[in-house]
């Protein structure tokens, strides 16, 4: 029996959702707004919301000072490469945990998730030594592998959850029809879990795109992504808020556009299997 939702409750819920959404979006809005101000207007007290001279000077200066397209291309390769590699590793791992369960499956999943609780700085020194030993410092390939390993626990956990919602009888029927393990994963399991896989890809891409700690510590110039591009506007002389805001806006714009156009797929994937 469905619960009746009163008009008053619906209005309160809608107002609360809009309030929370605006609070979350405000920092992004303020960053974009500040990017069109002069440095003096950016630190004005009280803050200027609309009554200021709009200018594109900050974007022009950022373009002159930095090779934005190089940083953007590095971000695309690093985030995209780590996501693709992570999915290729995670799908077989999640399949084995979901459909070939053992007494240790839950323990392994919890152990994998526990690695995300370790402070990144705790393993910075050994990873840096490995990078030096194999000449991987300031290389996109090295960052692809590191970011893949960092986000792999989340990818496996999400895919495992989605795969568990798929009836095992379907896979058994495919085996009875003579499907090999490869065909079972490629032609039966993967198409049925496309919403979940798509949301996992999107989430992992966003996490890799926004990763700052490893990109700042393992790159210098050649493989530096947009996170390093933003950090370059923090100088010993102080923060130049207008230019920093322009650089931040240029860095987050691609991922905002991606998120906007893929929000339906992301929501569909994150709720995959929630309703039966």
Q: Classify residue 31: in a domain, yes or no.
A: no
CATH number at residue 191: 1.10.3720.10
Q: Which residue has the tokens 């369960």?
A: 101
For residues 87 and 186, is the Cβ–Cβ distance under 8 A?
A: no
Note the pLDDT tens digit of each residue in 170-227. 888 888 888 887 888 888 888 888 888 888 898 899 999 999 999 999 998 889 999 9
Q: Classify residue 172: in a domain, yes or no.
A: yes
From CA 12, how far away is CA 21, in angstroms rounded?
A: 14
Output the DSSP codes for 130-177. HHHHTT-TT-HHHHHHHHHHHHHHHHHHHHHHHHHTS-HHHHHHHHHT
Amino acid 175: pLDDT: 82
Amino acid 1: pLDDT: 46
Amino acid 275: pLDDT: 44
Q: Classify residue 44: in a domain, yes or no.
A: no
From its phi and psi, is residue 93 left (phi > 0), alpha (psi between -120 and 50) or beta? alpha
From CA 150, how far away is CA 113, in angstroms rounded?
A: 10
* pLDDT lower than 50: segments of the chain: 1, 273-276
Helix (H) or strand (E) holding 234: strand 234-235
Q: Classify residue 266: in a domain, yes or no.
A: no
Structure-block tokens of residue 155: 């990818």
Amino acid 170: pLDDT: 85
Q: Classify residue 55: in a domain, yes or no.
A: no
Q: Which residue has the tokens 């609780």?
A: 117
Amino acid 66: pLDDT: 83
- Total domains, the chain: 1
Amino acid 199: pLDDT: 85
From its phi and psi, is residue 101 left (phi > 0), alpha (psi between -120 and 50) or beta? beta
Contacts of 140 (CB under 8 A, 6+ apart): 74, 77, 78, 81, 223
Q: Classify residue 246: in a domain, yes or no.
A: no
Looking at residue 238, the DSSP 8-state letter turns out to be E
Q: Classify residue 134: in a domain, yes or no.
A: yes
Q: Classify residue 1: in a domain, yes or no.
A: no
Determine the structural domain holding residue 86 and report its residue range: 66-232
């Amino acid at each position: 029996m469905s619960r009746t939702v009163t008009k008053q409750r619906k209005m309160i819920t809608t107002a609360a959702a809009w309030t929370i959404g605006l609070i979350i979006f405000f920092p992004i809005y303020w960053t974009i707004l500040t990017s069109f101000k002069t440095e003096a207007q950016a630190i004005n007290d009280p803050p200027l919301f609309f009554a200021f001279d709009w200018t594109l000077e900050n974007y022009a200066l950022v373009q002159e000072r930095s090779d934005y397209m190089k940083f953007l291309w590095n971000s695309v390769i690093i985030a995209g490469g780590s996501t693709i590699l992570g999915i290729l590793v995670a799908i077989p791992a999640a399949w084995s945990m979901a459909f070939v369960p053992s007494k240790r499956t839950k323990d392994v999943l919890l152990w994998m998730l526990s690695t995300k609780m370790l402070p990144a700085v705790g393993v910075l020194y050994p990873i840096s030594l490995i990078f030096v030993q194999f000449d991987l410092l300031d290389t996109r390939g090295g960052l692809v592998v590191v970011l893949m390993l960092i986000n792999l626990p989340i990818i496996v956990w999400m895919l495992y959850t989605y795969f568990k919602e798929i009836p095992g009888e379907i896979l058994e029927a495919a085996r009875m029809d003579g499907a090999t393990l490869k065909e079972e994963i490629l032609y039966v399991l993967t198409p049925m879990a496309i919403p979940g896989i798509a949301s996992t890809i999107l989430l992992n891409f966003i996490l890799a795109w926004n990763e700052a700690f490893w990109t700042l510590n393992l790159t210098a110039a050649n493989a530096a992504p947009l996170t390093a591009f933003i950090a370059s506007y923090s100088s010993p002389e102080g923060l130049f808020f207008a230019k920093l805001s322009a650089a931040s806006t240029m860095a987050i714009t691609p991922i905002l556009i991606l998120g906007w156009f893929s929000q339906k797929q992301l929501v569909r994937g994150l709720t995959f299997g929630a309703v039966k």
